[in-house]
C-alpha cells in the first residue's frame, strides 16, 4: 500500500513538472512570436492565442490564411510547416538554410533572431 502511494506521488510530481516546463516554453514562444508579428505589421497580441498564431504566421509568410487549415491534416502539416518557415525567412531577408534550421528545426531560436535582430520585413 505504501509503495502505491509513493508511485502515485511521483507520477503527480512528474506531471506537474512537465506542465510547468510546457508553460514556460509556451511563454518563451509567445515572446518571440510577438516581436515577429509586430515587425510584420500584425498585432503582437495574436501570438498569445494558440491556433490564431498559427494562421498569422502563415500570413507573415505571405500566404493566404486559408493555408493554415492544412496544419490540421496529418502529413500536410509537416510539409506546410517547412514551406511557411522558408517563406517567413525569405520575407525577413534570410536564406533557405537559415529558414530550415532556425525557423523550422529550432524555431524558437530563429524567431528570437528575427524578432530582436536587425531583420526587416519585406513581403516578397
What is the mean pLDDT of each successive set of 10 residues along the chain, which is 124 residues long?
Answer: 62 86 96 97 96 96 95 95 96 95 94 95 88
30 domain-assigned:
yes
Number of Cβ within a 10 Å radius of residue 44: 18
**Number of domains into which the chain is organized:** 1
Domain annotation covers residue 51? yes
Domain assignment of residue 15, yes or no: yes
Range of the domain at 27: 2-116
| Residue 94: inside a domain | yes
The whole-number pLDDT of residue 12 equals: 81
Q: Report the sign of the C-alpha dihedral through residues 16, 19, 21, 23, in that order.
A: negative
Whether 123 is covered by a domain: the verdict is no
Domain-embedded: residue 63: yes
pLDDT at 8: 72
Q: Give pLDDT, residue 123.
A: 86
Tell me which residue has cell 493554415.
68
pLDDT value for 3: 53
**Amino acid 15: pLDDT:** 82
Amino acid at each position: 500500500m505504501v509503495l502505491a502511494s509513493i508511485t502515485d506521488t511521483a507520477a503527480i510530481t512528474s506531471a506537474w513538472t512537465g506542465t510547468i516546463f510546457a508553460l514556460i516554453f509556451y511563454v518563451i514562444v509567445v515572446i518571440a512570436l510577438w516581436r515577429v508579428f509586430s515587425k510584420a505589421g500584425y498585432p503582437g497580441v495574436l501570438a498569445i492565442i494558440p491556433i490564431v498564431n498559427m494562421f498569422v504566421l502563415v500570413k507573415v509568410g505571405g500566404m493566404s490564411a486559408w493555408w493554415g487549415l492544412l496544419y490540421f491534416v496529418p502529413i500536410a502539416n509537416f510539409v506546410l510547416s517547412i514551406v511557411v518557415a522558408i517563406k517567413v525567412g525569405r520575407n525577413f531577408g534570410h536564406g533557405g538554410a537559415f529558414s530550415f534550421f532556425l525557423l523550422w528545426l529550432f524555431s524558437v531560436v530563429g524567431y528570437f533572431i528575427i524578432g530582436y535582430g536587425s531583420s526587416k520585413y519585406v513581403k516578397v
